[in-house]
Amino acid sequence: MNAKEVRALQDEEIKIELTRLRAKVYELRSETVTEKIKDTSQFGKLKKDIARLLTERRSRSLATVKK
C-alpha cells in the first residue's frame, strides 16, 4: 500500500484497514512463537503500512481543526 492508495481511502476504510493490519501483525507474532516463518520482512512492511495509515488519519484530523 502506497501513499496515493492511502489518501484515496475514506476515514472509515482507514479504520478498518488499521484493524486488519494490526490483527495480521498479531498473527505473525503468534506464528513466530509456535513455528518458524520464512519471510520476516513482513513485520516491517506491515508496520510501515500502519504508519502510513496513522499519518494520513492524523493529517486529516489536523486539517479539520484548522478550518
Mean pLDDT per 10-residue run, the chain (67 residues)?
91 96 94 85 95 96 86
Q: What pLDDT is stored for residue 45 in this prediction?
A: 95
Structural fold of domain 3-66 = Helix Hairpins (1.10.287)
Q: At what angle do helices 11-34 and 41-66 cross, to 10 degrees?
A: 160
Q: What pLDDT is stored for residue 40 in this prediction?
A: 86
Q: What pLDDT is stored for residue 38 in this prediction?
A: 83
Which residue's C-alpha cell is 486539517? 63
Cα separation, 67 vs 6, in Å, equals 22
Q: What pLDDT is stored for residue 36 in this prediction?
A: 80
Q: What pLDDT is stored for residue 18 in this prediction?
A: 97
